[in-house]
Structure formats: structure tokens, C-alpha cells
Amino acid sequence: MIVGNGWHGISLWYVTTNTIRGNLIAANGWSGIGADGVDVDTEVRDNRVGLWVDGQPLGNGFYGIHLAHGSTPVVISNTIAYNKRGIYLEGGSNPWIYRNTIYGHNASASSLSYPGYGGGIFCYQSAPIISGNVITNNVAYTGTDKTGYGGGIALYRCEGTLIGGNTVVSNTASTAGQGKGGGIYIEDSNNVVVRANRVLSNVATTTSGREWGWGGGIAVSGGSGTIEYNEIAGNQARSAGGGSGGGLYQWYGSTTFRRNSVTGNYGGTAVYLGYSQSLFESNKVVGNLASYAVELAYYPGPILVNNIIADSHYAVNAYATAADPLTAKLFHNTLVGTGDGRGVTAESGYVTLALVNNIVVSHAIGISNTYPASSTISADHTLFWGNTDNGIVGTNPVYGNPRFLNPAGGSYHLSPGSAAIDAGVTEPTVTTDIDGDPRPLGSGYDIGADEARFLYLPLVLRNY
């Protein structure tokens, strides 16, 4: 029989230079480890928090680890499982949370601070570094009276946080109601960096409510930051289908989304940018199970540059209302369809789209305006190929085969003889391509996301 303590298993209170290492900390009434005001020289390492030696659940009553009052320890290489929440940090705590395995938590209990936020890790008004962790099979909320936020990780007012190099897999924001951010949820947090994570097979909600799931992989609400170099794959906005942002979802804010791979995600949209003033640059949005690959909605509107958006019915769809008109710019994007749907469309009135140097390939209609009386689409130097109807062609259209290098293998680089090479107009705001190569490389700007760069090997003649 195992009997835990009524309070924390281990409690640190305004101490310095401590090491908590190699312990089994389980079945305590409060948290496994509680740390208040501890310094950066304190290390929490190689502990098992919330599970027995054979891996069976033996969770603590509240949190696996609770950091408060400006705590800044190193939390490294722990296994944290089966508590009500894995790690909770608050009160200006700035720890380094590194190489931990965090799983099997459910943050629904009303006794928790902010129930429904962050099954694996929840940050409130702090600035941690969260890196190299495996965060899996956690749930933010199971009830119907609240929204679940961030099955794996949730940030709320956490300025300057870094989330880097983690594997965030198979987490759920909500199992019974509304859910946002199956893998990662970020709310009202400025200067956040989310870099080089693998965000895989997470679900915003498992319910059947049509619009109850937002951001299967990552959801952002307000704030600013950078989300870059992430693999976002196989996530679901709503497991029954529908919802918004199977891979990425934004509602308000100014975020730079750069060089992310968004593939195989499931939802009404793969990427949803609402009330956004973000830069969406050099991303690959390919092969998602969504009606719309990228949807833009409401004032003010993002800028899309150097993206490859392929294997989708609708590549880019724009929506707005009279109260919240949208203005968006699309420069140097490569939009490849599946033979049906549309490349770029204004689905409602009060939309203004400016297109320069885009490739539009293999759609039923290339560019369309459903409400021409109240929306405006201008297109300049668009390359059309293989569309049933090009729709709006704009000024200086280009017709011809883009000659992608290996589209079946996922390569939409231009090969020799492409009609896109040197066929664009100068767009001074775009100085590199999707790979970071400078623009232009030849006599003019190439159309689409890629600026062609060829390597010719010298011909060497030998006598035998």
C-alpha cells in the first residue's frame, strides 16, 4: 500500500542551489513538486512524477510540478504522468523545461487554477523555455460547460516564451465541447516563438458540433510572435470533420508564420487566418483533407508570400462582412489544385485581394469573385496552366507550363523551360524565395514561390 503526503511530495520555498534527482514522487494530495521563488541553480532532474516504477498511474492530486513566484529552475529529463495537469507555471516563473516526457493528464478538475487550459503544460504570466520535450496523450477539458484550450501546451499572457524542438502528439483540447489548439494554444501572449516542433495527430475537439473545433495543431488568439520551421501534420480541427484550421488557426493578432510544413490535416480549412494582420511566408500547405487549404477572414487581412499551396480543392478563400472588410495581398505563391475547386476566390462581399506574380494551376476556375459588386480582385502577372476556366486573368497574364520539377514527389521547384522563369514583374517587397534564395537570380523575377536556380556541371572531354 502506498500512502502519499497530504500536501506536496517535495516543497521548495525560496531556496537556492538545490537538486531534486532520481525520486519517485506520487500519490500526494497536492502536487508532486511545488517550487516557490527558487533560482536558476535549482535542478529538477530524472524524477518519476505521478506513476509507479512499473508505469502504472499513481498521480498527484493537482499538478506534477507547480512553479510559482518567479521560480527559474531547470526541469530536465523527468517523466511526468497521470496528474491532473503535468506542469503549471505562474507568477513570473521563467524555467527551462527540457527533455521531459509528459503524458496522461486531464486538466478538467474545477479545483485546478484555470481548468481546461493545458493538459500537459499550462503557462500563466510567465516566460519559460519549453524545449525538447515529448508531450503526448493529454487532455485539456472533458466537460461541456467550458472550452478546452491546448491539449498539449497552453500559454495565457506569457510574453517572450520559446517553444522549440518538442514533439507534441495525440493531445486533445476537448472531448465533449468546444476545443481550441489540440496540440498548442497561445492566447494574448506577445513575442512568443514556436520553432521546429513536430505537432502531430492532435485534435481540437472530438464532438460532432459542426463549428466547435479550432486549430487541431496550433491555435493562436491575439498577441504577436513567430511560428516557424514546424512540422504540422495529421491534426484535426474536429474528429468528425469540419471545424476551422485543421493545422493552424489564428483569431486576431500579428504573427509571422514562416517555413512551416502543413500536411495531412483534417478540417473545413487547413489554415484559418481570421482578423489577422500576419505575414504568412514560405510555408508548404500540401495534401490536407480540407475544403479550403487557406481561408482568410475579416479585417484587416494578412500578406501571403512565397507559399506553396497544393493538392486542395480551394487553395485560398477570402471572406468578409461590411463591418469587417478584408484586404489581403498574395505575392509569389504557387497554387496547385486537384482539377476541381478554385485557386483564389472572394466568397463574400467586402473583400479586396491584390495578387502579384502567382502561379495558378489545375483548378476548375483559377481566380473568381463571387460578389463582384462589392469585392475587388486585382491580378498582375499571374501564370495560368491547366485550369478548366482561368476566371479573372487581370493584367499581363502568362500562359504556359510551369514545369515543376517533381510535383508527385512534393517538389514544386521550377525546372528548365518553365514559363514562370523571368516572367514576373518587379515586386520590391519580396527579395527572397521559399528557399531563401535571392530574387531575382536571372534577368527578371520568376513567378511563383520558387526562384529557379540551376547548377550546370562542366562538360569534360576525355580521350581513351
Q: Tens-digit pLDDT profile for the chain (464 aa)?
A: 455 777 899 999 999 999 999 999 999 999 999 999 999 999 999 999 999 999 999 999 999 999 999 999 999 999 999 999 999 999 999 999 999 999 999 999 999 999 999 999 999 999 999 999 999 999 999 999 999 999 999 999 999 999 999 999 999 999 999 999 999 999 999 999 999 999 999 999 998 766 689 999 999 999 999 999 999 999 999 998 889 999 999 999 999 999 999 999 999 999 999 999 999 999 999 999 999 999 999 999 999 999 999 998 899 999 999 999 999 999 999 999 999 999 999 999 999 999 999 999 999 999 999 999 899 999 999 999 999 999 999 999 999 999 999 999 999 999 999 999 999 999 999 999 999 999 999 999 999 999 998 764 454 443 33
Residue 416 identity: P
Residue 199 identity: V
Cα separation, 253 vs 244, in Å, equals 17
Question: What was the pLDDT predicted at 459?
Answer: 42
Q: Up-side HSE of residue 107: CA atoms within 13 Å toward CB?
A: 36
In 3-state terms, what secondary structure has residue 190?
coil
Cα separation, 137 vs 298, in Å, equals 34
Question: What was the pLDDT predicted at 456?
Answer: 47
Cis peptide before 372 (omega within 30 of 0): no
β-strand partners of 93: none
CA distances from 158 to 36, 69, 289, 366 (A): 18, 14, 32, 42
In 3-state terms, what secondary structure has residue 52?
coil
In 3-state terms, what secondary structure has residue 263?
strand
Percent of the chain past pLDDT 90, that is, above it, reads 93
Cα separation, 381 vs 404, in Å, equals 18
Scan for cell 491546448, then name that residue.
150
Question: What was the pLDDT predicted at 326?
Answer: 98
Q: Up-side HSE of residue 458: CA atoms within 13 Å toward CB?
A: 3
- Candidates 185, 188, 183, 155; CA nearest to 170 is 183
What are the cell numbers at 263?
500536411
Query: What are the b/e assignments for 17-30, b being 16+ CB within 10 Å?
Result: ebebeebbbbbbeb
pLDDT digits over 351-406, tens only?
999 999 999 999 999 999 999 989 999 999 999 999 999 999 999 999 999 999 99
Question: What was the pLDDT predicted at 312?
Answer: 85
Q: Is 352:376 a contact under the CB 8 Å cutoff?
A: yes
User: Which residues have C-beta within 8 Å of that of residue 455, sequence separation ≥ 6?
Assistant: none
What are the cell numbers at 247?
493545422
Question: What was the pLDDT predicted at 1?
Answer: 42
Residue 53 identity: V
Cα separation, 267 vs 245, in Å, equals 6
pLDDT digits over 258-307, tens only?
999 999 999 999 999 999 999 999 999 999 999 999 999 999 999 999 99
Q: Which value, to the nearest 10 degrees, does the dihedral of the CA atoms of residues 321, 271, 450, 384 take?
A: -50
Q: What is the Cα 58 distance to its own chain's centre?
A: 33
Pairing of strands 411-414, 404-406: antiparallel
In a 10 Å sphere around its CB, with 0-12 CB exposed, 13-18 middle and 19+ buried, how is residue 354 labelled? middle
Question: What was the pLDDT predicted at 256?
Answer: 98
Question: What was the pLDDT predicted at 209?
Answer: 67
Q: Is 89:120 a contact under the CB 8 Å cutoff?
A: no
What are the cell numbers at 27?
500519490
Cα separation, 433 vs 436, in Å, equals 5
Q: Is 188:149 a contact under the CB 8 Å cutoff?
A: no
Q: Is 384:397 a contact under the CB 8 Å cutoff?
A: yes
Question: What was the pLDDT predicted at 2?
Answer: 56
Cα separation, 264 vs 72, in Å, equals 38
Segments of 106-244 assigned E as strands? 121-124, 129-131, 134-136, 139-141, 148-149, 153-156, 162-164, 167-169, 172-174, 179-180, 184-187, 192-195, 198-200, 203-205, 213-214, 218-221, 224-228, 231-233, 236-238
